[in-house]
Amino acid sequence: MSELPERKVFFSIIHEKSPQIQKKEVPCKKTDADYAFIYKVLVSASKDGISSAVITNQMQEQWKVTTEQLHRYALKNTPDLFPARLTRLSEAIHMDTEIQDIMFNPWILTNENFSGGAAAMYYSDHKILRDLSDQEDCNLYVIPADQDEVLLLKEGNVSVTDADNFAQYIFKAVGQTELGNQALYYDRQENHLFPIQNGIVMSREIKEKAVRKSSVQKR
């Protein structure tokens, strides 16, 4: 491609410790929950999946485009190219009521192509998470099962420990993904995703204390 197809640029999310980020191979923009945006060009899309190319530093230099420009194009295009899809687990697999109670009947957030749907968490500055948490009047636990979908649980239905244990069970079943192996906590007041580590929500305050403690130990 000799010119950047602006309307086909979209974003994916990966963990900030992923090899692509650590090796500085691609333009990226870090966000909350220890994730980073990377950018791709859509080649084709169908019900069977999508074909795309990751934008590398070399491609970025060739097109003479900044990371901020890529980010702006991607924020605008991604929700249009891949409309979000939010359903209850019970609807997806036709659960009966008894099993719903046991499983807490989480929501599944993906997109209409069922490919790269975890990125929908970041559509319009967490709008889907924000709207759902307002509708349910609670914060949410987010379990990134893989790149294609995330599970959403109401905070009032499960404890942070249970959410973390459930997440670890899923990660063990599906294996390591580019999103890491931690559950997340969506705080609707802050409109922010925080990672959960060992059953603890790593809020800004906790992270700041950890940084201060580390600084003191290094002196």
How many helices (H) and strands (E) would you count in the chain? 8, 11
Residues facing 64 on adjacent strands: none
Please give the pLDDT value at position 211.
47
Residue spans of the chain under pLDDT 70: 1, 93-103, 176, 206-219
The model scores a pTM over 0.85: yes
- 51: phi then psi, degrees, rounded to nearest 5: -120, 130
Report DSSP state, residue 120. G
Write the pLDDT tens digit of every residue in 159-170. Answer: 999 999 989 998
**Alpha carbons within 13 A on the beta-carbon side of 189:** 2
Using only C-alpha atoms, the chain has a radius of gyration, in whole angstroms, of: 18
Please give the pLDDT value at position 209.
55
Q: How far is residue 76's CA from residue 83's CA, in Å, rounded to a whole number?
A: 12
- Count other C-beta atoms under 10 Å from residue 49's C-beta: 13
Are 38 and 26 contacting, i.e. CB atoms less than 8 angstroms apart? yes
Are 145 and 174 contacting, i.e. CB atoms less than 8 angstroms apart? yes
- Count other C-beta atoms under 10 Å from residue 33's C-beta: 24
Token digits of residue 208: 């700041």
